[in-house]
Structure 1
Amino acid sequence: MEINAQLARLHHADLRARASAHHRAAAVKPATELRTRVGWTLVDLGLRLVSTSRPAVALAR
């Protein structure tokens, strides 16, 4: 077999391996990003609730 054909086949196999590794990593990443985003949103909401100075509600009898 010609050396260029062998190199092309090896390069193709390497690219396929890298692509499949990237797809596996990308499939895991969104769940982590979503979890992080939801967590920080909850922290932000909690800080807003704690730091908000609301007037006391008077109870009428």
Structure 2
Amino acid sequence: MDFSNRRFKLIKKSIINLIENQNENIRIHPGHYESSTIGEEKRNNSFYNEWKSIRKS
């Protein structure tokens, strides 16, 4: 599937907003690697930390 840069940016903003509005203790099971929590992902997920800066632009 081919996403325009604008559409992909909107998808990333949506994901960040979803993560930001969840309790940090919620356990998630991503389907790859081991389970984690929202808080662990906020602290350790490089994609999350990179994408988070998009909200400010």
Q: TM-score, normalised by structure 2?
A: 0.35
- The TM-score with structure 1 as length reference comes to 0.33
Higher relative contact order (CA 8 A, sep 6+): 2
Structure with larger Rg: 1
Which is richer in helix?
Answer: 1
